[in-house]
Structure 1
Amino acid sequence: MFFTYLRRELRRRRKAALVVASGLALGIALVIVVSSVSSGMGKAQEKVLQSLYGLGTDMTVTKAMETSEEGGERPERPRFSFDAQAEGSGEEQSTDHVMVQGFQSLADSTVDKVGEQNGVADAVGGLSLQVVKVSGEFTRGRFQQDGQGGQDGGPGGAEPSEGGRVQGGGADFDVNSYSVYGTDVTEPELGPLTSSRITDGRTFKASETDAKVAVVDSAHAKEKELETGDTVTVKGTKFKIIGIATAESGDAAADLYLPLKQAQTLADAKDKVTTIYVRATDSQQIDSVKSAIQKNVSGTTVTTSADLADTVSGSLSTASSLATGVGTWLSVAVLVTAFLVAGLLTSSAVSRRVREFGTLKALGWNSGRVTGQVVGEAVVHGLMGGVLGIALGLAGAYAVTAISPTLQAELGGGAGGSGGMGGPGGGPVGGPGREAAAKTLEVALTAPVGLTTVALAVGLAVAGGLVAGAFGGWRASRLRPADALRRVA
C-alpha cells in the first residue's frame, strides 16, 4: 500500500518533484565540483613539493643556520688562478671550483642518528654542490713605438719603453655554473632523483657507490648536447653518462647526479652531507617524528611537507585558497538554501493536500503513517536530486580536467635562520641545488572525483530529502480529520 500510493503520488506531481530535485541537484553538483577541484589542488601541490623533496620523502633535515658574529670566520669564496705567461698566450685555459651549496654541511654520521629515531622508517643523505667553471684564453698585445714597427708585448712580454704603447691583447673568459648532486645509490627509493624518471639509459646500480658514472637532467643534456655514453668532466675527473632523467614537475633537483662518494671527493667534503631525506613509518605521526629529531639531533633544522606547502605562492596558492575558502562556504550556502527551499515546497504541497490527508486519517491512517508517506516522497525527491546532481557534478569535474587550466607555483627562497624555513645558505627549503631566487613551476589543474565524493553526494541527497520531509511531515501530523472533512463540498 505504501509503495503503491507513493508511486501514484510521484507520478501525479511530476512538476513539483522536478522542482525540488533540481534545487537539490544544483547544490550537490556544486559540492562535487568544489571537492574535486580541491582534491586536484592537493595533487598539484604534491607534485610541486615532489620537485623539492622527491617521491616518498616526508621531511628533510639540514644544518641549522649559524649566525656568525661580526669579524668571525667567513665562508671561503671562489678563487681562480691562471697562467698568463707569454708562451701560454692564445691557449685556452679552464678551471672548476666546486662548492658545497650554502657552505653548510652535516657529518654523515648524522644520517644514522636520524634513522635511529622513533617513527623513522628510512633516512638517506645527499650532498648538494655548485660547480663554477671558468674557461677562456689570454691574447698578447703588440708594443708599438712611435714611428716604428711593433713587437710582441702584453702579459709576460717585454716592458714597454717610453714613447710607445701596447695595442690589442686582453682576455676572453666564459663563466658557466651548474648544480651537481651526490646521491646515495644504495637507496634509490629516497631522495630528489625520485622526482625524475629515466627517459634514456638507466639509473645507478647499488654497486656503483664509488664509480665514475653520472645521470644528467634532460634539460641540461639538451643545452650541452649530451647523450647517454658521452663523458662529462668535473674538476679534471671524467664521468660516463649512463642515463638521462626528466623531471616529472618540469624542474629538476640538479643538472648532474653523481654517486655520493664521488661528489664528496670533488668538493673535498669527505663524510659530509647537506641534506638528509627522511621517510616516516606513519604519515599521521610526522609532527611527532619532527619533534623527536629536533630534540635528539642538535644543530639541525627539520622541514616537513606542511612547512613547504606554506612557501608555495602564485596562482596555485590563490586558487587553492578560493577552492577551500570561498568555494566551501559557497557550497554550504547553496546547500542550505536548497534544503530550505525543498522543505518549504514540500510543506506548501502538504497544505494543498489537506483534504487528502484528512480523508486518509478518517479512513484510519494515523499521524505516523501520514508523516511517513510525506517523508518517503521527500526522500525520493532527494535521491532524484542526488542522481541529477552527481551527473552535473561529474560533468563539471570532467570539464575542468578537459580544459586543464595551467596554474603557476612560485617556490621562494626561505627566510633562513635557525629553526626557520630556509635551507642552507638562505636557499629554498628541502631542495638540493636550489638557488635563493624564487622559481616558478607550471602545473595543470585536474578535478578527480573519488568514491568518497560520490558517497558524500548520496548522503547529501538523502539528508536533503529528510529535511524536506521533516517540514512536510510536521505539517501533515498537525492535520485533524474534522478540518479536512469540513472543506469537502
Structure 2
Amino acid sequence: MFFTYLRRELRRRRKAALVVASGLALGIALVIVVNSVSAGMKQAQGEVLESLYGLGTDMTVTKAQEEPEEGGAVARPRFKFDASDGGEQSNDMLMVQGFETLSTSTVDTVARQDGVANAVGGLSLTSISVSGDFKPGEMKPAQPAQPGQKGSGGSGEVRGGGADFGVNSFTVFGTDVTEPELGPLTSSTLTKGRTFKTSETDAKVAVLDSAYAKKEDLATGDEVEVKGKKFAVVGIATADKGQPAANVYIPLKQAQTLADAKGKITTVYVKAADSQAISAVKDAIQKNVPDTTVTTSADLAKTVSGSLDTAAGLASTVGKWLSYAVLAAAFLVAGLLTSSAVSRRVREFGTLKALGWKSGRVTRQVVGEALVNGLIGGALGIAAGLAGAYAVTAVSPTLTAELGGGLRVAGPGGGGPAQDAAERTLDIALSAPVSLATIALAAALAIGGGLIAGGFGGWRASRLRPADALRRVE
C-alpha cells in the first residue's frame, strides 16, 4: 500500500517532484565538481613537490646559509687565461653549487635520528667550460707631422685584435649508487640502457637526462666529458614530472674527486619511517645536527605560488563555501516546496486521517515521497557532477606553479642547496579526478536532502486534523 500510493503521488506531481529534484541536483553537482577540482589541485601540487624532491624523499638536509662577513668577498668562479701569445685558450671548472658543503659523516648522523628510515647523500655540481681565442692587436705607426705642426704624429696605436669565447655549462649530480631507491634520480624513469650498479661506486659511467642527451646528440655507448674525464653513457633517463634533477649523473666518489670535494656532499635526502611523523623527524634533525637546514614537502608547499596556488585557494575557499551555500539553499527550497505541497494537500491528508490513517503513517508517506525526490536529485546531480569533472579533465587547463619565497632547496636543474626556489617554474595540466568517497558524499547529501525536505513536510502533515479537510469541502 505504501509503495503503491507513493508511486501514484509521484506520477501525479511530476513537475513539483522535478523542481525539488533539480534543485538538489544542482547543489550536489556543484559539490562534486568543486571536490574533484580540489583533489586535482592537491594532485598537481603533489606533482610539483615530487618533481622538486624526487620520489620517496620526505625531506632534505643542507648546509645552513651563513651570513657573509662584513667586507668579505662573495665566492665566485674565476677563469684565468694567458693571452700574451694569443691563440686558443680553454678552461674547465667543476663547481659545487652554492659553494656550501656538508661532511659525508652527516649522512650517518642523520640516519641515526629517531624516525629516519633511510638517508643518502648527494653532491650537486655545475660544469662550466670556457673556450675561445685571443687575437693580438696590431701596432699602427704614428702618422708623420703635417707641415706647420710641431712635433711628430705620436708613437702609434694598437688597432684590431680582441677575444672570442664561448661558454658551455651543464649540471652534474654525484649520486650514491649503493642507495638506488633514494635521491633525485628516482624522480626520473630509465628509458634506455641501464642505471648504476651498486658496485660502480668509483666507475667512470654516467646516466644522462633524455633532454640533455638529445641536445648533445648522445646515446648509450657514447662518452660524455666532465672536467676532462670521459664517462661511458650507460643509461638515458626521463624526468617523470617537471624538470630533471641534473643533466648528467655520475657516481658520488667520482664527482667528489673531480670537484676536489672529497668527503663532501651538498644534500642529504631523508626518508621517514612514518609519513605522519615528518614534523617530529625534522625537529630531531635540526636539534641534533647543527648548522643545517631541514626542508620538508610542507615547507615547499608554503612557497608554491602562481596560477596553481591561486586556483587552489579559490577552490578550497570560495568554491567550497559557494557549493555549500548552494546546497544549503537547495535543501531549504526543497523543504519549503515540500511543506507547501503538503499545505495544498490538506483535504487529501485530512480525509486519509478521517479514514483511519495515523499521523505517523501520513508523515512516513510524505517523508517517503521527499526521499525519492532526493534520490532522483542525487542521481541527476551525480551525473551532472561527473560530466563537469570529465569536462575539466578533457580540457586540462594548464596552471603554472612557481616555487618561491627565498627557500633554499635541492631542486631540479641541479638540486644545489643554494639554488633559489623562486627560479623554479613548472606547468601543470589540471585534472578533476572523482573518487568513490566523493560519490558516497553525493549519495549521502541526496538522502540527507530528501530527509530534510521530508522533515519539513512531515511536520506540517502531522499537524493536520480530519476537521481541516472538512473546511476545504465546498
TM-score tier, shorter chain, comes to over 0.9
- 1:134 maps onto 2:130 in alignment: yes
Give the equivalent residue in structure 2 for 1:273.
Answer: 265
Displacement of 1:280: 1.7
Contact 2:28 2:381 in 1 (8 A): yes
Say if 1:250 and 1:441, in contact at 8 Å, map to a contact too: yes
Partners of 2:379 and 2:138 in 1: how far apart? Answer: 89
Answer yes or no: is the 8 Å Cα contact 1:229–1:242 preserved in 2.
yes
Q: CA deviation at 1:398?
A: 0.5
Q: Does 1:11 align with 2:23?
A: no
Query: What is the CA RMSD across the aligned residues, in angstroms?
Result: 2.3
Write the mapping of 1:319-338 to structure 2, written as runs, cut at 5 A: 319-338=311-330
Counterpart AA for 1:51: S
Give the stretch that moved more between structures: 24-33 or 56-65: 56-65
CA deviation after TM superposition for structure 1 residue 405, in Å = 0.7
CA–CA separation in structure 1 for the residues paired with 2:418 and 2:71: 28
Offset of 1:146 from its aligned partner?
5.7
Corresponding residue for 1:58? 58
Residue in structure 1 matched with residue 109 of structure 2 by the alignment: 113
Say which of 403, 407, 431 aligns to 2:399: 407
Distance 1:188 1:423 in 2: 21
Partners of 1:53 and 1:430 within 8 A in 2: no
- Per the alignment, residue 189 of structure 2 pairs with 197
Percentage of matched positions with identical amino acids: 72
| TM-score under structure 2 length normalisation | 0.92
Structure 2 residue 99 is matched with structure 1 residue 100: no
Report how far residue 348 of structure 1 moved: 0.5
With over 3 angstroms needed to count, the CA separation of the structure-2 counterparts of 1:78 and 1:129, relative to structure 1, is: same
Q: Per-residue deviation at 1:433? A: 7.3
Which of 431, 447, 450 does residue 435 from structure 2 map onto? 450
Aligned partners of 1:320, 1:220: CA distance in 2, in Å? 33
| Separation in 1, partners of 2:280, 2:452 | 42
Aligned to 2:68: 68
Compute the displacement of 1:474 (Å).
0.8
Deviates more, 1:135-144 or 1:353-362: 135-144
What letter corresponds to residue 83 of structure 2 in structure 1? A
SS at match of 2:113: coil
Letter in 2 for 1:114: V
- CA deviation vs aligned residue, 1:64-108 (integer Å, no higher than 9, x gap): 222233245x5543222334353xx43x33221222111111111
Distance in structure 1 (CA, Å) of the matches to 2:320 and 2:415: 33
Q: Shift of residue 400 of structure 1?
A: 0.6
Q: Judge conservation of contact 2:97–2:125 (CA < 8 Å) in 1.
A: yes
Q: Work out whether 1:20 is the aligned partner of 2:20.
A: yes
Relative to structure 1, the CA distance from residue 46 to residue 196 in structure 2 (aligned partners, 3 Å threshold; closer, same or farther) is same
CA pair 147-140 structure 1, distance change in 2 beyond 3 A: same
CA contact (8 A) 2:247 2:413 kept: no
The residue aligned with 1:422 is 408
Find the counterpart in structure 2 of residue 46 from structure 1. Answer: 46
Indicate conservation of the 8 Å contact 1:411/1:428, yes or no: no
TM-fit CA distance, 1:342? 0.3
2:238 matched residue in structure 1: 246
1:313 lines up with 2:305 in the alignment: yes
Instruction: Tell me, yes or no, if the aligned pair for 1:24 and 1:386 is still in contact at 8 Å.
Output: yes
* C-alpha distance in 1 between matches for 2:159 and 2:53: 55
Residue of structure 1 equivalent to 2:291? 299
Kindly state the Cα deviation for residue 118 of structure 1 after the two structures are TM-superposed. 2.0
Superposed, which structure 2 residues align to 1:203-242 within 5 Å?
Answer: 203-242=195-234
2:346 aligned to 346, 354, 359, which one?
354
Partner Cα distance (1:358, 1:430) in 2: 80
Q: Point out where structure 2 has 5 or more consecutive residues left out of the alignment.
A: 145-153
Any idea what the Cα deviations from partners look like across 1:174-216, whole Å, max 9, x if unmatched?
2222211111122222211122222222222222111111112
Quote how far apart the aligned CAs of 1:334 are. 0.4
Distance 2:457 2:345 in 1: 11
Distance 2:4 2:273 in 1: 57
Partner-residue secondary structure (3-state), 1:358: helix
- For 2:308 and 2:436, how far apart are their aligned partners in 1? 25
TM-score (normalizing by structure 1): 0.89
**How far is the alpha carbon of 1:313 from its aligned partner?**
1.0
Residue 173 of structure 1: how far off its partner (Å): 1.6
Q: Report the residue type matching 2:443 in the other structure.
A: V
Matched position secondary structure for 1:310: helix
3-state secondary structure, aligned to 2:389: helix
Query: For structure 1, which runs of at least 5 residues remain unmatched after alignment?
Result: 149-161, 416-420
Does the 8 Å CA contact 1:407/1:444 hold for their aligned counterparts?
yes
Q: What secondary structure does 2:77 align onto?
A: coil
Letter in 1 for 2:450: G
CA gap 1:434/1:76 in 2 versus in 1, 3 angstroms: closer
Q: CA deviation at 1:135?
A: 1.0
Count of residues paired in the alignment = 464
